[in-house]
A and B are shown apart, each in its own frame.
Chain A
Amino acid sequence: MAGETRTTGESGTARGTTGWIDATLVGLICVSIAVTVLGGLIQVSFGAYSMTLAEAWGAVTNPSILFNGDAWRAFLLGTALPEMNRRALIVWNIRVPRVIVGAFVGMNLAVAGAVFQAVTRNELASPYILGVSHGSGLGVLVTFVFFSGLTHLVPLMAAVGGALAFVAVYAIAWNGGTSPVRLVLAGVVVGMVAWSLQRGLFFFVEDIGVVQSALAWITGSLTGTDWEQVRLVAPWSVVSILVAALGARHLNVLVLGESTARSLGMKVEWARFGLSAVAIVATSSAIAVAGIVSFVGLIVPHVVRTVVGSDYRRIIAGSLFVGPALVTAADVGARLGPSVVAVAAGAVILVAGLALGLGGLLGSSAVRSRYDADYTRPAGVALVVGAGMLGLAWLAGGPAVSETQLPVGIVTGLVGGPYFLYLMRRRKHLGDL
Chain B
Amino acid sequence: MQTQDTHYEDAQPSDATTDSALVGTDLEIGYPTLEEPVVTVDRIDVPEGEVTALVGPNGSGKSTLVKALARQLSPDAGEIRLNDRNIQSFGQKELARELGHLSQENTAPDSVTVEDLVYHGRYPYRGFFESVDDADERAVERAIDLAGIDHLREKSVGNLSGGQKQLVFIAMVLAQETDVLLLDEPTTFLDLHHQLRVMETVRRLNEERDVTIAIVLHDIAQAARFADNLIALDDGAVYDWGPPTDVVTEELLEDVFDVDAAVRYTPDPEIVPKRSL
Cα distance, A391 to B128, chains bound together (Å): 56
Q: A9-B134, A263-B70, A264-B176 are in contact. Are A432 and B103 (CB under 8 A)?
A: no
Contact residues on A (Cβ < 8 Å of other chain), bracket: 20 to 34
B115 touches A2 (CB 8 A): yes
| Cβ-based interface call for B2 (8 A) | no
Which of A1, A5, A12, A260 is the one whose CB lies under 8 Å from B106?
A260
Q: Which of B119-127, B159-167, B242-250 contacts A (4 or more CB under 8 A)?
A: B119-127
Residues of B within 8 A of A156 (CB): none
Residues of A within 8 A of B150 (CB): 2
Residues of A within 8 A of B123 (CB): 253, 264-266
Cα distance, A290 to B132, chains bound together (Å): 39
A266 touches B111 (CB 8 A): no
Mark interface residues in B70-94 (1 if CB within 8 Å of A CB, else 0).
Answer: 1010000000000000000000111
Residues of A within 8 A of B95 (CB): 265
| Cβ-based interface call for B131 (8 A) | yes
Cα distance, A432 to B111, chains bound together (Å): 8
A257 touches B107 (CB 8 A): yes
| Cβ-based interface call for B32 (8 A) | yes
Which residue of chain B has its CB nearest to the CB of A176? B32
| Cβ-based interface call for B218 (8 A) | no
A12 touches B133 (CB 8 A): yes
Cα distance, A151 to B133, chains bound together (Å): 53
Q: A264-B120, A264-B176 are in contact. Are A256 and B129 (CB under 8 A)?
A: no
Mark interface residues in A278-311 (1 if CB within 8 Å of B CB, else 0).
Answer: 0000000000000000000000000000000111
Instruction: Say how far A181's CB is from chain B's closest CB, in angstroms.
Output: 15
Residues of B within 8 A of A432 (CB): 109-111, 158
Residues of B within 8 A of A176 (CB): 32
Q: A12-B132, A259-B72 are in contact. Are A264 and B121 (CB under 8 A)?
A: yes
Which residue of chain A has its CB nearest to the CB of B108? A256
Interface centre among A257, A264, A309, A432 (most CB of B within 10 A): A264
B107 touches A256 (CB 8 A): yes
Residues of A within 8 A of B120 (CB): 252-253, 256, 264
Contact residues on B (Cβ < 8 Å of other chain), bracket: 35 or more
Which residue of chain A has its CB nearest to the CB of B93? A265
Which residue of chain A has its CB nearest to the CB of B95? A265
Instruction: Say how far B245's CB is from chain A's closest CB, in angstroms.
Output: 33
| Cβ-based interface call for A6 (8 A) | yes
Which residue of chain A has its CB nearest to the CB of B156? A309
Interface centre among B100, B116, B133, B136 (most CB of A within 10 A): B116
Which residue of chain A has its CB nearest to the CB of B182? A263
Q: A12-B132, A12-B133 are in contact. Are A257 and B106 (CB under 8 A)?
A: yes
| Cβ-based interface call for B102 (8 A) | yes
Which of B93, B116, B137 is the one whose CB lies under 8 Å from A12?
B137
Q: Which of A13-21, A135-143, A200-208 contacts B (4 or more CB under 8 A)?
A: A13-21
Which of A12, A257, A263, A309 is the one whose CB lies under 8 Å from B101?
A263
B72 touches A263 (CB 8 A): yes
Residues of B within 8 A of A256 (CB): 106-108, 120
Residues of A within 8 A of B106 (CB): 256-257, 260
Cα distance, A2 to B150, chains bound together (Å): 9
| Cβ-based interface call for B192 (8 A) | no
| Cβ-based interface call for A377 (8 A) | no
| Cβ-based interface call for B227 (8 A) | no
Which residue of chain B has its CB nearest to the CB of A121? B107
A246 touches B141 (CB 8 A): no
A264 touches B112 (CB 8 A): no
B141 touches A6 (CB 8 A): yes
| Cβ-based interface call for A433 (8 A) | yes
Residues of A within 8 A of B137 (CB): 5-6, 9, 12, 15
B116 touches A311 (CB 8 A): yes
Which residue of chain B has its CB nearest to the CB of A12? B137
B132 touches A262 (CB 8 A): no
Residues of B within 8 A of A12 (CB): 132-134, 136-137
Interface centre among B109, B124, B150 (most CB of A within 10 A): B109
Task: Report, nearest first, the 9 A-B pairs whose CB atoms are least far apart.
Answer: A16-B131, A265-B96, A265-B124, A16-B132, A310-B109, A265-B93, A309-B111, A263-B101, A264-B123
A13-B132, A256-B120 known; 16 new pairs, CB 8 Å cut-off, are A2-B150, A2-B153, A6-B137, A13-B133, A15-B132, A15-B137, A17-B131, A263-B70, A263-B96, A263-B103, A263-B173, A265-B94, A265-B96, A265-B124, A267-B92, A310-B111
| Complex A-B: 27 CB contacts under 8 Å | A1-B154, A5-B141, A12-B132, A12-B134, A12-B137, A16-B131, A16-B133, A17-B131, A176-B32, A246-B129, A253-B123, A255-B109, A256-B120, A259-B103, A260-B106, A262-B92, A263-B103, A263-B173, A264-B121, A265-B92, A265-B93, A265-B94, A265-B96, A265-B123, A265-B124, A309-B111, A433-B109
